[in-house]
Chains A and B, each alone.
Chain A
C-alpha cells in the first residue's frame, strides 16, 4: 500500500502530471475522430512518445489509451460512429439517448462509470500485480511455453467468430515475426537475400498499417462526408438514471476485472458480456437498445475495468492481452525494460509510478472530458476528406520515425492494404499482433525445453495448468459465439 501511495505521489510531480494530461488530451482528441479506435490511436501516436523518458513514455501511452477509449464512446453516443469495437455496444443505447435529446446524461454516465471502474481497476492492479509477479518468479521455460500457448489459443478463440481463422492468423503472425536475423543463433530466416528483410518487420509499422492505415482506407471507401453534430444540452443524469447507471457500472466492473486478467479477454468481449448480463437480469429487457442508461453504463465500466485488468498480466508476466498492450510492451522493451516478475523488484520505482499514473490519469480524464465534451463533439464532426489524408501522413511519418527507414513506410502501406482486406473478409487481426509479440517468447521457451529435454514438461504442473486453461478457452469461446449469435438472431 505504501508503494502504491508513493507511486501516486510520484505520478503527481509536475513533469509526470504534464505527460498524463497531454496523453489524455491527445488520446481523446484522436479517439473522438470517427473511425479511429483505441488501438489505431495508440499505434499512430506511439512513435511520437519514444522521444520521452521511459516513465514519461509509459504514462503518456497509458493516458492516450484511456483518452482514446473515452473519445471512442463519445462518437458512439453522439453520432453513432463507434471508434472501436467495445463502443459498438455503447452506441446501441447511447445513440438512442442522443436521439431522445439526452446525449448529455449518456456522456456524463459514460465518463462517471469509466472513472470509477478505472479507479477500482488501478487499485486492484496495485494489490494483484506484485502477488502475481512473485508467483511468476518460479516460472521456467516450460511455464512460459504453456503461458504463450494459452495466450495464443485464447486470443485466437475470442477475437473472432471462428477459432480456425484466429489460429491461422496467429500462425501467419508467428511466421512473419521470423523474418530477419535471429539474435539467438545469428541465422537469418525468410529474408531471401533482401537487405531490408534482414532487419525484419518492426512491430510498430506493422500495427500502424493494419490498424491505422486500414481504417483510413475504409473511410475513403465509405466516402462518408461530414457527420451531423449533436447538441449536448444538460449533462446531469436524473436521480433514477444515476442510481441505475452506477449499479450497472458496479456489476460490470465486478464481472469484467477478473475476466480482463485472462489473455484474449479484450474489452470488446467483456463489454458484450456485461451488456448481455444487464439485459438478462433486467425486469424490462425490451428497454435495451432504446436508450437504457444501463446499456451505456455497463459496457463503458466493463471496457475500463478490463483495460485496467489487461495491464496486470502485462506488467507481472510480460504477456500482452491485446494489441494495445502489445504496443505498451514494445514501448517498454525500447528502453530495455522487460515486463515480467522482475519489473516489480528491479524497476520498482518505475513500475509504481506508472501504476500511480493510471490512478491520476483517470482523475484527469474525468476533469478534462466533461467540461470539454462540446469541443469533442465539434472535433468529431471534422469532414472525412480532411481527416483521412492528415491521419495518413501522421501514420507514415510515425512509422518512419521508429528506425528512420523508408522500408518501414512501405511496410506500413502494404500492411494497411492487407489489414483492410482481411477485416473486410472477416479475418480477425488481433491474433496476428499477439502472435507477433508472443511468437519469440514461445520459440525461445520451446528451444530451451528442447535443449533440456521434453521430459521437463511432465515435471511441471503449471505448464499443464496452462494447457488446461487453453482447452477451457477453446470451449468458452465456442459457447460465447453461440450465445452472441443467438442474441443477434433474437435482435434481428
Chain B
C-alpha cells in the first residue's frame, strides 16, 4: 500500500523532469529571441521545479501513510477489461470504421458485463450502432467509415 505513494511520486517526478528537460531545450532554441525563449522556458522550468518540490514534500509527509488498498479493490479486473476494450476501439476505429467498430465494442461489452444471451446482444448492438450512426450523420459528424461506407 505504501508502494502506491512511490509509484505516484515517480510519475509526478517523471512529468516534472520532462518539463525541466524540455525547458532547457526551449531555452537553447536559436529560432526565438533570447527574451522570448527565457520567458517561455522559464515558466515551464518554474512549474517543473515547483512540481518536484511539492512531490518531495508529499513523499516525506505522506510517504509512510498507507494509500488506497488496490490489492483488495473489488472489480479491478472488470475495469481494466473495459478499458482494454475501449482502447482497442479507439485504436482500430480508423480501420474498422464506426459501424463495425461500434457493433463489435457493444457486443464485447454486453457479452462480458451483462447476463443477456448472444442473440439479443447482437440485435441490440446492431440496432444501437445503426441508430447512432444515423444520428451522427444528421448532426453532420463525419466519422471514419472503414469497411462499411454508410451513412
Contact = CB atoms under 8 A, between A and B. Distances in A.
Dominant secondary structure of chain B at its interface with chain A: helix
A223 interface: yes
Given A168-B12, A396-B89, A425-B68, A175 B19 contact: yes
B47 interface: yes
A396 B90 contact: yes
A466 interface: no
A174 interface: yes
Interface in B41-67: 42-44, 47-48, 50-51, 54-55, 57-58, 61-62, 67
A185 B73 contact: no
B109 interface: yes
B92 to A, nearest CB: 10
A443 B105 contact: no
Contacts of A388: 82, 109, 113
A401 interface: yes
Interface string A126-147: 0000000000000000000000
Contact of A187 (B40, B70, B89, B132): B40
Dominant secondary structure of chain A at its interface with chain B: helix
Interface residues of A, number: 60
A175 B47 contact: yes
A474 to B, nearest CB: 14
Interface string B15-44: 110110011001001011001110110111
B67 A425 contact: yes
A189 B47 contact: no
A216 B105 CA distance: 14
Given A185-B39, A413-B83, A447-B39, A400 B143 contact: yes
Contacts of A368: none
Contacts of B67: 425-426
A377 B32 CA distance: 60
A410 interface: yes
Contacts of A451: 35, 39
A357 to B, nearest CB: 22
Nearest to B42: A450
Question: Which has the most chain A C-beta neighbours within 10 Å: B39, B42, B140?
Answer: B39
Nearest to B22: A190
Given A175-B48, A385-B109, A389-B106, A401 B141 contact: yes
B91 interface: yes
Contact of B68 (A189, A424, A450): A424
B51 A409 contact: no
Given A217-B82, A389-B105, A396-B89, 8 more contacts: A187-B26, A386-B114, A394-B132, A396-B86, A397-B132, A413-B83, A416-B83, A447-B39
16 contacts: A172-B12, A174-B47, A175-B44, A187-B32, A220-B81, A389-B109, A393-B105, A397-B132, A400-B143, A401-B141, A410-B90, A424-B70, A426-B68, A447-B43, A450-B42, A451-B35
Give 5 nearest A-B pairs by CB, closest first: A385-B114, A221-B79, A221-B75, A220-B82, A389-B109
